[in-house]
Amino acid sequence: MDDIKNQVTTSQEHPSTSQCVECGKCGCGDCNTRCNLDSYNWLADVPGGKNDFDIVEVHFKNTRRGYYRNSAHLNLKQGDVVAVEANPGHDIGTVALTGNLVKLQMKRTRLRPDAEILRVFRKAKPADLERFEHAKAKEIDTMIRSRQIAKDLGLEMKIGDVEYQGDGNKAIFYYIADGRVDFRQLIKVLAEVFKIRVEMKQIGARQEAGRIGGIGPCGRPLCCASWMSTFVSVATSAARYQEVSLNPQKLAGQCAKLKCCINFEVDTYVEASKSLPKREIALETKDKTYYHFKTDILKGEMSYSTEKGVPTDLVTISPERVNEVIVLNKQGIKPERLQDSENDAGIKLSAYGDLVGQDSISRFDNAKKKKKKKNRSKPQAGKPAREAAKDSQNSGEGNGKSRAPRDQDRRRFNGVEAANGNRPSNFDSRRKQGKRGFNRNETNRHH
């Protein structure tokens, strides 16, 4: 614990010669887990590279940066805290880039050639750092009071942050507003209350999200809070190129704007989609007409359906096969199938892999067992099944009921018939009457 306390104290007292306390990488001293002020000099290890450019890039709070001329030819390196010229007074910032890479950075930011470039005064002295820390300590109280003043004036705006200049004579008020705000009266009140020069700077929702920070849906820190310092507009057309569902809840980030990462891969998708056939063309076969449903651009597969916008009889084929079918349709030829022979083999292979039931929804359900009849007799060896069933009926094994009384009656009737030569007539009449009476009684009972 003592080593950690000594490290923190050393970093706060000498931020120019130490790394960030939070991440240990950038030279901003204490970035509060926001390292998007860091820049990597990828030309530093180039052999024979010249490093005679006299302009350096200096970073300040809230991704604010500026370019200053090293007219005193100081030995500056990345991470040094310097005092630079301001209007009026001086400001304190951290050197982010030096050398020829600054020239490329100025070109990327489209800095005008006739723009005024201020100077680097000196490396920050302990007195400069002490004054700067005293000014930074007033930022939170100033922000809270300025919010109340703006509310009293009836302005529809939110002051998100306040940044004091290094000498404490000037402050930048960052605000968010949906529309145009007339803050001239607000500037007068703020200047009278805090006795400083006031500068108002409007920021967007993305800058505000980067200032607050957070975790994105990808599980990583927000790009605007970790490495992004410049923001470009994001359009829904970028999502359409990537075949992304246009769901506002999924496309919007924590700033309630379209996610910046939608623009990261749009160039790759646009380049890959140039070789794909047009999706408006319908494919004609002898049996059906297929319409485009979806496209996997990077995989190179196109799916067609027999109904527009509905996944009916989906068929997935390659773009080459689509071009072949389009050419055949233009010649008036309709193929029998939309797939070719190679694609059919692939479909059969995937269908064979699914025979195991890997894709079945009920594959984890318990299989229903068939109910077996109890005391079902098995055919005896050496006898047909019909004879064995007769024997089991005669012996009373089939359903547990004895057949002996019926057999006795049958033998008795046979004896009477054998003695008289035929059955008695009264026996047949009684049998019929009894059967009819039984049926009549059963019918009445049911009704």
Q: Which tens digit of pLDDT belongs to each residue from 2-36?
A: 443 343 333 333 333 344 434 444 444 444 434 45
- In this structure, the number of other CB atoms found within 10 A of the CB of residue 337 comes to 15
Q: Are 279 and 292 in contact (CB under 8 A)?
A: yes
Q: Which tens digit of pLDDT belongs to each residue from 70-90?
A: 988 898 888 899 999 998 889
191 lies in a domain? yes
Q: Are 213 and 33 in contact (CB under 8 A)?
A: yes
Q: Which structural domain range is residue 57 located in?
A: 2-124
241 and 166 belong to one structural domain:
no
Q: Which residues of 138-150 are buried (b: 16+ CB within 10 A; e: fewer)?
A: eeeebbeebbeeb
Q: Output phi, psi for 282, to 5 deg.
A: -90, 145
51 and 117 belong to one structural domain:
yes
Greater model confidence, 272 or 383: 272
147 and 204 belong to one structural domain:
yes
Greater model confidence, 131 or 346: 131
DSSP single-letter state for residue 368: P
Among 90, 124, 158, residue at a domain's last position = 124
What is the pLDDT at residue 206?
Answer: 87
Instruction: Give 263's pLDDT tier (boundaries 50, 70, 90).
Output: very high
β-strands 170-176, 197-202: how paired? parallel
∠ CA 436-437-439 to the nearest 5 degrees? 65
15 and 58 belong to one structural domain:
yes
What is the pLDDT at residue 128?
Answer: 92
> Which residues share a beta bridge with 90?
85
308 and 265 belong to one structural domain:
no
Percent of the chain with pLDDT over 90: 31
Q: How many domains does the chain have?
A: 4
DSSP single-letter state for residue 101: H
Q: Which tens digit of pLDDT belongs to each residue from 166-223?
A: 999 999 999 999 888 898 999 999 999 999 999 999 988 888 888 888 898 888 988 8
Q: Are 190 and 138 in contact (CB under 8 A)?
A: no
> Which residues share a beta bridge with 202?
175
Q: Output phi, psi for 283, to 5 deg.
A: -105, 130
What is the pLDDT at residue 364?
Answer: 61
Among 192, 208, 224, residue at a domain's last position = 208
313 lies in a domain? yes
Mean pLDDT in residue range 378-390: 52
89 and 114 belong to one structural domain:
yes
319 lies in a domain? yes
Q: How many helices (H) and strands (E) does the chain have?
A: 15, 12
Q: Which tens digit of pLDDT belongs to each residue from 34-56?
A: 445 566 666 666 665 556 788 99
* Distance, C-alpha 434 to centroid of its chain: 82
What is the pLDDT at residue 49?
Answer: 53
DSSP single-letter state for residue 261: G
Mean pLDDT in residue range 413-421: 48
38 lies in a domain? yes
36 and 114 belong to one structural domain:
yes
Greater model confidence, 416 or 235: 235
22 and 117 belong to one structural domain:
yes
14 and 109 belong to one structural domain:
yes
250 lies in a domain? yes
Q: What CATH number did the domain enclosing 175 receive?
A: 3.30.300.20
55 lies in a domain? yes
370 lies in a domain? no
Q: Which tens digit of pLDDT belongs to each residue from 145-170?
A: 999 999 999 999 999 889 999 999 99
∠ CA 417-418-420 to the nearest 5 degrees? 65
288 and 269 belong to one structural domain:
no
8 lies in a domain? yes
Among 104, 124, 144, residue at a domain's last position = 124
Q: Which tens digit of pLDDT belongs to each residue from 274-296?
A: 889 988 999 999 888 999 998 88
DSSP single-letter state for residue 294: E
28 and 88 belong to one structural domain:
yes
17 and 101 belong to one structural domain:
yes
Alpha helices in 222-365 (DSSP H): 223-226, 236-241, 248-251, 266-273, 319-330, 341-353
User: CA 49, CA 67: separation in Å to the nearest integer?
Assistant: 21
Is the confidence at residue 429, as pLDDT, over 80? no
What is the pLDDT at residue 88?
Answer: 83
β-strands 283-284, 55-59: how paired? unpaired
